[in-house]
Amino acid sequence: MINQDRICCEAMGRQLNYVCDQHPDLIDCPDVVIRYFPHVDKFGFPIRDGGASSLDAHYCPWCGAKLPEPKRNQWFDTLENLGYGTPLTDEIPVEYRTDRWWRELGL
Ligand SMILES: [Zn+2]
Ligand SMILES: [Zn+2]
């Protein structure tokens, strides 16, 4: 479930909470044009090249609201300080896979 404070308008809410019975992983679903990655507080347009990459979204395509600045650097820095040298492949604490860590730090 996505925190309400990240849903700027009805269209965005529909996208982020979209459930597709044909595509359990929404990265494969053509009806979904924007994804939210809570652990780095990032909105992105999926690049459907078979991988999981996406283009950073800075504004909502529907209402024009400014989207949050991704916390990618803080995510890496915080985990590196905790001794996780390669956070992408390390076994990291579960809160770093969700928005919990940055909300607790007040970022
Ligand atoms: Zn679908
Ligand atoms: Zn919006």
Q: Residue 66: inside a domain, yes or no?
A: no
Is residue 82 located within the same domain as residue 46?
no
Here the contacts of 77-82 (C-beta below 8 Å, separation 24 or greater) are: 78/105
Q: Categorize the per-residue pLDDT at 31 as very low, low, confident or very high, splitting at 50, 70 and 90.
A: very high
pLDDT digits (tens, 9 = 90+) for 41-84: 999 999 988 887 889 999 999 999 999 999 999 999 999 999 99
How many domains does the chain contain in total? 2
Q: Residue 91: inside a domain, yes or no?
A: yes
What pLDDT was estimated at residue 87?
A: 94
Compute, in angstroms, the gap from residue 28 CA to the centroid of ligand 1: 7
Is residue 40 located within the same domain as residue 13?
yes
Compute, in angstroms, the gap from residue 57 CA to the centroid of ligand 1: 21
Compute, in angstroms, the gap from residue 46 CA to the centroid of ligand 1: 14
| Distance in angstroms between the alpha carbons of the first and the last residue of the chain | 20
Q: Residue 90: inside a domain, yes or no?
A: yes
Is residue 12 located within the same domain as residue 38?
yes
Is residue 18 located within the same domain as residue 42?
yes
